[in-house]
A and B are shown apart, each in its own frame.
Chain A
Amino acid sequence: MAGTNALSDTPLLPEASTLAERVDTLFFTLTGLDALMVLVLSGLIIGFAVYYRRGARVNRTTNVPETKTEIIWSLGLLTIFLDIFVWAAHLYVEEASPPKNALEIHAIGKQWMWKFQHRNGQREINELHVPLGVPVKVVLATQDVIHSFFVPAFRSKQDLVPGRYRTVWFTPSRIGRYHLFCAEYCGLDHSRMRGQVIVMEPAEYEAWLAGESGAESLPAQGEKLFSSLGCIICHGAGSKVAAPSLTGIFGKPVPLTGGQTVVADETYIRDSILTPEKQVVAGYEPIMPSFRGRVDESDLTKLIAYIKSLSREDARP
């Protein structure tokens, strides 16, 4: 990987996301403090051990008040630790939620490869193209065991847990190619479940996105599935079956039988397709069959994209 491989250019790890620099500052501050503490402590230990070695003629009477000294250094440590904690927690919480306008990409991890699907249907395997300077939200799903999406250059990591959607987001800040690793042991070829994240200028990214794949957009593919799987029979306009309408439901609260209300997010839609009896909409009978075994993660991604698209007037890719 010569030439454009950013890793071979820099001795240390490149800072390729807006988060990376902030994490590095914290990390190197911590490391510096650690080094200082180790030096001070080893200095004291070696110093005392040598100065007060057996046979050395030095003054050994001492009056150091024990408890007071302990309290002083405990409070000192506590103060330093609390400051670091607050700094780290603040950064962590701030960076936990993606911005609303983040570019969404769907990732499916499976033993032992990464599959990515962009909004317009463009698919990649083990490679992820992303635009520079744009917040990117990756929706993570796994088909089998726990994996972990790890891009060291972004200082980003998030586990993929079966049965749920997780998200990770970043804003790439440096053109280049960066390692993508699976960071949670997932079986035989865990160490080969690797890929590359390719950060491009936004214009180039758009060009690449519209490229020769000829694939339809995710919502369009989802619409096809919606029909072929028979969802349209009950949920389509003009259906004689009492089934909730799906137009505009994404992101809105849904009242359930039993009195609770839940927001119709990706997980809700996924659960409704796989285990429809779990959360039945108020006023409806639990007659929807489960589609477990008839849809895989990829299909779910498309169906969800389609249902999301029913919320918006403008079909934004």
Chain B
Amino acid sequence: MTTVGISLRKHYLNHDYSFRSWLTTIDHKRIAWLYLVSITAFFFFGGAAATLIRLELATPAADVVETETYNRLFSLHGIAMVWFFLVPSIPATLGNFLIPLMIGARDVAFPRLNLLSWYLYVIGGSFTLAMAITGGVDTGWTFYTPFSSLFANGQVVLAVVGVIIVGFSSILTGLNFIVTVHKMRAPGLHWTRLPLFVWANYATAIIMVLATPVLAITLLLIALERIFGIGIFDPKVGGDPVLFQHLFWFYSHPAVYIMILPGMGVVSEIITCFARKHIFGYDGMAFALLAIALIGFLVWGHHLFVAGESIYAGVIFSLLSFMVAVPSGIKVFNWAATLYKGSVSFETPMLYALGFVGLFTIGGLTGITVAATAVDVHLHDTYFVIAHFHYIMVGGMVMAYFGGLHFWWPKMTGRMYPDVWGRIAAITIFIGFNLTFFPQFVLGYLGMPRRYHTYPDEFQLLNVLSSAGAPVLALGYLLPLFYLLYSLRWGPVAGPNPWEAKGLEWQTPSPPPEHNFDHLPVVTEEPYAYGLPKRDSDAARG
């Protein structure tokens, strides 16, 4: 189709520019943008906290901020990044924008509920901002009792209320996605033809719906304990502080899968497109997503190996934690196998996707290290664990998020950004990330504990290396802010399918019309039908 100048054709962005139309929109594409702006704000908020932390940790002494402040900074960093950036990131932005397009629908199943989800996010975020402004909390994002319930003198109630509210935002988004995928697929789009991005968000949605309510009740109990003194976690009246940890991690472990599965979905879309080849082992990939979601509910006790859990429980949780790594391994090998005999190019999205695979692998394998009970006794609550989860959440998920943003940017905006700058940013992020976090593995093995404002002198060298990487990483994150915004005004106009990708979202103009498709699509081919010879197994399946 001819690329008409954007200003002539009506689409979802230009049909109404008013503020009010944005704040009352029920268009999933606009809601995706509302989220994008909000989560970016929280990303920089949490990132500012991280910057101060790394600045402070460059020296062993407490010379940048006071201890009270430092403790609030790392708590804010965790709360903002986990609940207000990572959990919503891909699902609420890319998922919201793309899922209806990818399945050939006009919108999600419950558009008004979708808008409500965003408002709940904003309200929860406001509580968090209020908490930060009025003194913050120093409990860590994990709120362990009895410190958080009986001893902490910060804005614990504000913090937990904010998280409970944003949790409901999460639950409603998950609900919306599940129903949308079940009930609104275009004719011919069987489950076995769904793009893996949809599968990934579907699996994530299941976790959101099942796990988040448990977080809500757990944090509610903390709020009740602080307000009414009911003593559920107070050992002096017979309460059990370790019970809190079980309840908290029952949600928070599945939550980390919420914070990686969507990234895996994005990576599958990008690698297939830029290797011009269908995904290796589609069935295995979809199955692995569901397996990770399921087994992820069974491993929470690996956070409690030294916390007061019996050694038998520890052994069982350890075994299950090893199990959950197997489907992840399948995915990593399959991505590599997709490249085999492909036709590979290295545009920005592909650089992010390849970076994801390497860094996620390191993060995942170090997860195996800490799943080994005897080793975790040494490594628990040290910088090794911090490095492990940052490799997965930042080296993995954030890179996938950026990759997805760069992949679908032309679809969402109708503009292309300068690929040179995209690649520079991707490489800068990759280098900065490794500089910042790799030394932390060593620090952790050497025994530096987490959440330490001051530390023994001998840890300084590694801390300096880590803090040196942080500005590089920060630069890498700032660059897209500039060239992506630049592209909105001065970037070349992008057609409907600048990457020549498969997938229904590319069969409609960029940016899409408000109702997504002018003609209802009918799906007749397998996903990722990039034209290279099919496998035997595919031919047999037909």
A residues touching B (Cβ–Cβ < 8 Å)?
Answer: 7-8, 12-13, 22-23, 26-27, 30-31, 33-34, 37-38, 41-42, 44-45, 48-50, 52-56, 59-67, 69-70, 73-74, 77-78, 81-82, 84-85, 87-89, 91-93, 95-96, 111, 144-146, 148, 150, 152-153, 155-159, 161-164, 166, 179, 181-192, 194, 275, 292
Task: Tell whether, in the assembled complex, residue B452 and residue A84 are in contact, meaning their CB atoms are under 8 Å apart.
Answer: no
B91 in the interface (beta carbon within 8 A): no
Residues of A within 8 A of B335 (CB): 45
Inter-chain CA distance A283–B282, complex, in Å, is: 69
Partner of A77, one of B276, B325, B537: B325
Inter-chain CA distance A94–B323, complex, in Å, is: 23
Residues of A within 8 A of B241 (CB): 146, 161-163
- The answer to whether residues A150 and B447 also contact, given A23-B375, A92-B311, A92-B377 and a CB cut-off of 8 A, is yes
B104-112, B362-370, B467-475 - interface stretch = B362-370
Segment 415-474 of B: residues with Cβ below 8 Å from A? 445-447, 449-456, 458
Residues of B within 8 A of A145 (CB): 146-147, 150-151
Residues of B within 8 A of A185 (CB): 71, 139-140, 144, 147, 450-451
Task: Tell whether, in the assembled complex, residue A162 and residue B146 are in contact, meaning their CB atoms are under 8 Å apart.
Answer: yes
Residues of B within 8 A of A67 (CB): 281, 283-284, 537
B374 in the interface (beta carbon within 8 A): yes
Residues of A within 8 A of B358 (CB): 38, 41-42, 45
Task: Tell whether, in the assembled complex, residue A146 and residue B146 are in contact, meaning their CB atoms are under 8 Å apart.
Answer: yes
Instruction: Look across to chain A and name the residue whose beta carbon is closest to the beta carbon of B458.
Output: A7
Separation in Å of the B127 CB from the closest CB of chain A?
Answer: 22
Partner of B361, one of A38, A73, A146, A186: A38
Inter-chain CA distance A292–B237, complex, in Å, is: 11
Inter-chain CA distance A78–B318, complex, in Å, is: 14
B82-90, B198-206, B501-509, B528-536 - interface stretch = B528-536
Instruction: Look across to chain B and name the residue whose beta carbon is closest to the beta carbon of A62.
Output: B341
B132 in the interface (beta carbon within 8 A): no
9 A-B pairs closest in CB distance? A152-B447, A163-B235, A88-B372, A191-B452, A48-B339, A92-B373, A91-B374, A34-B365, A183-B381
B18-26, B95-103, B342-350 - interface stretch = B342-350
Inter-chain CA distance A42–B355, complex, in Å, is: 10
Segment 290-331 of B: residues with Cβ below 8 Å from A? 306-308, 311, 314-315, 318-319, 322-323, 325-326, 329-330
Task: Tell whether, in the assembled complex, residue A84 and residue B236 are in contact, meaning their CB atoms are under 8 Å apart.
Answer: no
B191 in the interface (beta carbon within 8 A): no
B413 in the interface (beta carbon within 8 A): no
Inter-chain CA distance A45–B340, complex, in Å, is: 8
Inter-chain CA distance A88–B321, complex, in Å, is: 13
Task: Tell whether, in the assembled complex, residue A181 and residue B449 are in contact, meaning their CB atoms are under 8 Å apart.
Answer: yes
Instruction: Look across to chain B and name the residue whose beta carbon is closest to the beta carbon of A155.
Output: B378
Residues of B within 8 A of A7 (CB): 456, 458
Q: 13 A-B residue contacts at CB 8 Å?
A: A27-B379, A62-B340, A66-B537, A70-B281, A70-B284, A81-B368, A93-B311, A144-B151, A145-B147, A161-B241, A163-B241, A184-B381, A191-B452
Task: Tell whether, in the assembled complex, residue A166 and residue B374 are in contact, meaning their CB atoms are under 8 Å apart.
Answer: no
Task: Tell whether, in the assembled complex, residue B147 and residue A146 are in contact, meaning their CB atoms are under 8 Å apart.
Answer: yes
Instruction: Look across to chain A and name the residue whose beta carbon is closest to the beta carbon of B335.
Output: A45
Task: Tell whether, in the assembled complex, residue A84 and residue B284 are in contact, meaning their CB atoms are under 8 Å apart.
Answer: no
Task: Tell whether, in the assembled complex, residue A85 and residue B151 are in contact, meaning their CB atoms are under 8 Å apart.
Answer: no
Inter-chain CA distance A164–B309, complex, in Å, is: 12
- The answer to whether residues A162 and B449 also contact, given A89-B315, A92-B374 and a CB cut-off of 8 A, is no
Task: Tell whether, in the assembled complex, residue B345 and residue A54 are in contact, meaning their CB atoms are under 8 Å apart.
Answer: yes
B493 in the interface (beta carbon within 8 A): no
Residues of A within 8 A of B447 (CB): 13, 150, 152-153, 179, 181
Partner of B329, one of A49, A55, A73, A155: A73
Instruction: Look across to chain A and name the residue whose beta carbon is closest to the beta carbon of B304.
Output: A159
B residues touching A (Cβ–Cβ < 8 Å)?
Answer: 67-68, 71, 138-140, 144, 146-147, 150-152, 235-236, 238-242, 275-276, 280-281, 283-284, 306-308, 311, 314-315, 318-319, 322-323, 325-326, 329-330, 332-337, 339-346, 354, 357-358, 361-362, 365-366, 368-369, 371-375, 377-382, 445-447, 449-456, 458, 532-533, 535-537
Partner of A157, one of B306, B337, B354: B306
Task: Tell whether, in the assembled complex, residue A45 and residue B357 are in contact, meaning their CB atoms are under 8 Å apart.
Answer: yes
Separation in Å of the B405 CB from the closest CB of chain A?
Answer: 22
Instruction: Look across to chain B and name the residue whose beta carbon is closest to the beta carbon of A181.
Output: B449
Instruction: Look across to chain A and name the residue whose beta carbon is closest to the beta carbon of B535.
Output: A66
- The answer to whether residues A38 and B365 also contact, given A53-B345, A70-B333, A152-B446 and a CB cut-off of 8 A, is yes
Instruction: Look across to chain B and name the residue whose beta carbon is closest to the beta carbon of A192.
Output: B454
Partner of B322, one of A81, A150, A156, A192: A81
Inter-chain CA distance A164–B147, complex, in Å, is: 16
Task: Tell whether, in the assembled complex, residue A73 and residue B144 are in contact, meaning their CB atoms are under 8 Å apart.
Answer: no
Task: Tell whether, in the assembled complex, residue B378 and residue A27 are in contact, meaning their CB atoms are under 8 Å apart.
Answer: yes
Inter-chain CA distance A37–B360, complex, in Å, is: 12
Task: Tell whether, in the assembled complex, residue A89 and residue B318 are in contact, meaning their CB atoms are under 8 Å apart.
Answer: yes
- The answer to whether residues A186 and B147 also contact, given A92-B373, A191-B67 and a CB cut-off of 8 A, is yes
Inter-chain CA distance A194–B354, complex, in Å, is: 42
Inter-chain CA distance A209–B362, complex, in Å, is: 48
Task: Tell whether, in the assembled complex, residue A27 and residue B280 are in contact, meaning their CB atoms are under 8 Å apart.
Answer: no
Separation in Å of the B189 CB from the closest CB of chain A?
Answer: 22
Separation in Å of the B386 CB from the closest CB of chain A?
Answer: 13
Instruction: Look across to chain B and name the residue whose beta carbon is closest to the beta carbon of A182.
Output: B449
Instruction: Look across to chain B and name the residue whose beta carbon is closest to the beta carbon of A160.
Output: B308
Separation in Å of the A238 CB from the closest CB of chain B?
Answer: 35
Residues of B within 8 A of A54 (CB): 276, 343-345
Inter-chain CA distance A87–B147, complex, in Å, is: 35
Instruction: Look across to chain B and name the residue whose beta carbon is closest to the beta carbon of A45.
Output: B336
Separation in Å of the A203 CB from the closest CB of chain B?
Answer: 29
Residues of A within 8 A of B337 (CB): 64, 69
Task: Tell whether, in the assembled complex, residue B454 and residue A191 are in contact, meaning their CB atoms are under 8 Å apart.
Answer: yes
Task: Tell whether, in the assembled complex, residue B535 and residue A49 are in contact, meaning their CB atoms are under 8 Å apart.
Answer: no
Instruction: Look across to chain A and name the residue whose beta carbon is closest to the beta carbon of B329.
Output: A77
Residues of B within 8 A of A33 (CB): 365
**13 new A-B contacts at CB < 8 Å, known A23-B378, A41-B361, A145-B150:** A22-B374, A45-B354, A53-B345, A62-B533, A67-B283, A70-B334, A88-B375, A146-B146, A146-B307, A150-B381, A163-B240, A185-B147, A188-B68
Separation in Å of the A190 CB from the closest CB of chain B?
Answer: 6
Task: Tell whether, in the assembled complex, residue A155 and residue B377 are in contact, meaning their CB atoms are under 8 Å apart.
Answer: yes
Residues of B within 8 A of A22 (CB): 374
Inter-chain CA distance A87–B446, complex, in Å, is: 22
Residues of B within 8 A of A81 (CB): 322-323, 325-326, 368
Inter-chain CA distance A292–B236, complex, in Å, is: 9
Residues of A within 8 A of B458 (CB): 7-8
Inter-chain CA distance A8–B446, complex, in Å, is: 12
Partner of A31, one of B339, B354, B369: B369
Task: Tell whether, in the assembled complex, residue B536 and residue A63 are in contact, meaning their CB atoms are under 8 Å apart.
Answer: yes
- The answer to whether residues A74 and B330 also contact, given A38-B358, A150-B381, A155-B378 and a CB cut-off of 8 A, is yes
- The answer to whether residues A52 and B369 also contact, given A41-B336, A82-B322, A146-B241 and a CB cut-off of 8 A, is no
Separation in Å of the A151 CB from the closest CB of chain B?
Answer: 8
Task: Tell whether, in the assembled complex, residue A34 and residue B362 are in contact, meaning their CB atoms are under 8 Å apart.
Answer: yes
- The answer to whether residues A161 and B452 also contact, given A48-B339, A65-B536 and a CB cut-off of 8 A, is no
Residues of A within 8 A of B449 (CB): 150, 181-183, 191
